[in-house]
Structure 1
Amino acid sequence: MARRSADETRQLILEAALRLLLERGAIAGVQHIRLQEVLRSVGLTTGAAYRIWADQDEFHRDLAVEMVGLRFAPPVSSASTAIREVLANDGSIEDVVRTAAQDHVDYISTFHLEPESRDSHAFITALALRTAAGSWPELRIASAERHRGSIDAFAEFYGALLRRFGRRIREPLTILDFTEAMAALGEGFAIRAAEGLGHPVYDIPDGAELPSGRWTLFGIGIQGLLAAFTVPVDDSDA
């Protein structure tokens, strides 16, 4: 049997550590994942690990970076799937917002369930680590890369939706500004979910100042961002 390279050994150990971290969740943090325990789970000796990492701190740093970069699905996968039927039935932009917001709330509220919510579990755990990104420069870089990947994907997603519904971003703001605001709102509610806080839901009656129907607080927040950031396209727009 061919000997593993140092890179292969490193990846084997990190993958096993990621499994433990996801099993235990964001509350544990990387510091609770002991290298000795990980080594036992993959049948390796201490010497194999300490040829890669000088100490537990180096191992924890690399584990945090690996976790922040982990995705099981593209950033917009859940939202785009959720609104597919609404778009196919020519629903309104309010229908899209309500459906996408409810999907996000469901996504962040069931992160502790496996295997159905594996991606949301990874999202919450990575988000918890990103809030402590000041710990290591490498973690700040990984966090920024993950954030930029999400922003780029959602900017394209939101841009397509705005074009479909005949809206544009108010000048001098940009679609990236809107996407950053949406990310801050969505991640804020995700942190609340990680804390075990429930998400407010409202049944808006007909004739109210808000669109009628069942609305999450996140959905109402998106409505506010749409009003602040966007206007209908008119004939003077290119």
Structure 2
Amino acid sequence: MLLERGASAGVQHIRLQEVLRRAGLTTGAAYRLWADQDEYQRELAVTMLRTRLTDPADSARAAVDALIAQGASGGEVISAAAGAHIRSAVSPAESPGSSLEAQQFLIGLALRTTADTWPELKEAARFRHEESVGSFARFYADLMAAYGLTMKPGLTVEDFAEAMAAVGEGFAIHAMSGMQHPSYDLDGSDGLPEGEWSLFGLVVRSLVFTFMNVPADVSAPEAKRTAAAD
């Protein structure tokens, strides 16, 4: 019911009596599980944060796997991955195929902003964040290996994943507040990329160049560059 109604519903609007009717349970059965409405809502919130429908990085991987196999440039991969995040997490209505995962992301994000309500919720919020950062760190490490990128001294791929999480979640909160996500048609001048780019994509590109050593030629994955050189 929470996934169906979305982040705006909040756990307080998933009334216990509605759940009981839908599950075919009696009030007595419910109160053998929870002492009161507050305890029920707390467990609903905590369980929502600890539940995963898919691996956190699955949608990003799906967005770029085919591009990498085709030898797409690093810029094309960044733009595609950023676009997938905007469509699924920031603007889920534009990506109905991933709506359930997008709803879970937005609900989890909304719950994490109220994590200090209960100690159990704070612990679950930290668990969810660390799990997401770990998953995306592995994804970014795979991309770095494919394109011959390395982290700059003193920085780790986990640091990059933390920064990416903050940016992605920030833009998602903007969208939940009704803010339109900007996009630009760029001509490639003044060091900017060429083509249509979202603001999120430009921020990701900037983070890549800030955190990583980027080879002069990142036009194709490392394996394809090596094969061409051979």
TM > 0.5 between the two?
yes
1:166-186 CA-to-partner distances (Å, cap 9, x unmatched) read 111111111111110001011
Q: Distance in 2 between matches of 1:156 and 1:24?
A: 32
CA contact (8 A) 2:88 2:98 kept: no
Matched, 1:123 2:105: yes
Task: Write out the 4+ residue segments of structure 1 that deviate beyond 6 Å after TM superposition.
Answer: none
Q: Report deviation, 1:233.
A: 6.5
Q: Report deviation, 1:141.
A: 1.1
Q: Distance in 2 between matches of 1:44 and 1:201?
A: 49
Moved more, 108-117 or 177-186: 108-117
Matched, 1:36 2:24: no
Structure 1 partner of 2:208 = 226
Give the RMSD, CA atoms, in angstroms.
1.7
Identity of aligned residues (%): 47
Matched, 1:64 2:45: yes
1:46-87 CA-to-partner distances (Å, cap 9, x unmatched) read 111111111100000000011112222111111111111210
Q: Distance in 2 between matches of 1:98 and 1:120?
A: 19
Mapping 1:1-238, distance limit 5 Å:
20-111=1-92, 116-232=98-214
| Structure 1 gaps, min length 5 | 1-19
| Structure 2 gaps, min length 5 | 217-230
Amino acid paired to 1:68: L
- TM-score normalised according to structure 1 size: 0.85
Structure 2 partner of 1:13 = none
Moved more, 210-219 or 106-115: 106-115
CA contact (8 A) 1:71 1:123 kept: no
Distance 1:173 1:27, change over 3 A: same
Q: Distance in 2 between matches of 1:137 and 1:95?
A: 42
State the secondary structure of the residue aligned to 2:92.
coil
- TM-score normalised according to structure 2 size: 0.88
Q: Report deviation, 1:196.
A: 2.0
Amino acid paired to 1:153: S
Distance 1:115 1:233, change over 3 A: closer
